[in-house]
Amino acid sequence: MVQSSTRRSISFLCALFALSSSILLSVVNQLPEFPDDHKQVVHKLPRSMDDAKELARVLSLYRENHYYSLLTCVSFVYIFLQTFAIPGSIFLSVVLGFLFNFYIALFVICMCSAIGATLCYLASSLIGPPLLEKYCKERITQWKSQVNKHRQHMLNYIIFLRITPFLPNWFINISSPVLDVNLKPFFIGTFLGVAPPSFVAVSAGQNIYKLTTAGDALSYSSILMLALFAILSILPVLFQNRLKSHLS
């Protein structure tokens, strides 16, 4: 019975991936016709800072005449990566920071992250339980106790988790519906929580040719900023808990 549920879930996931890929391909086809040497760059997901630099260089040649097509296409790619937990969104964030206005890039990243995470959440709510039961049972059990502790402050908790590296984003996305995390705080918490690290990535994108690795985007000041935002996200919870303890 469990094996049958797992097979159905995997089949549904493959079908969803194929459908999403076809939609993404149709969006990419709306871009201008690229020369062969540019096609090789554009049709490859950035896996390193060198890839990101090359992609930024090529796309910048088309930015003026195809601004909205580029923005739409990159947004769809970003959502696709987030939906299926495919690595590479950090480099795409840097590219967005290079190509577009700082605040536009920041908003697009936050919105695409929230939409992609929500699509992953919804997909997991349909197909996740059998797969998680088989492959992540112990980890789900461990996180369940933490979710129950913060259930009254779920928005703050999601923001905190998105800023900090304690749990990978893909795990938060697929396990949240199984642990009955409501969609509203999940979406809003993701949108707000990814803003500080995205701020760092977009800022790095404005100086992309000075970077050699993704780690170069992190300076001491940016690490301190992320830590400050993480503390601020959880402070209201700490104050409320302390107030309750004084009143009881």
Residue-wise pLDDT tens digits, 65-99: 889 989 999 999 999 999 988 888 889 999 999 99
Q: What is the dihedral of CA 96, 101, 107, 112, to 10 degrees?
A: -30
**Considering only 13-22, 57-66, 204-213, which range has the smallest mean pLDDT?**
204-213
Two structure tokens written together for 211: 């970077």
Segment 91-108 mean pLDDT: 94
- For the chain, report the end-to-end CA distance as a whole number of angstroms: 49
The pLDDT tens digits for 4-56 are: 566 776 777 788 888 888 888 888 777 778 887 888 888 888 888 888 899 99
The pLDDT tens digits for 109-141 are: 999 999 999 999 988 888 766 667 777 777 888
Q: What is the structure's pLDDT at 186? A: 96
Phi, psi (deg, nearest 5) at residue 47:
-115, -5
Q: HSE on the CB side for 213, CA within 13 Å?
A: 4
> What Å distances lie between residue 21 and 24, 26, 87, CA to CA?
5, 9, 16
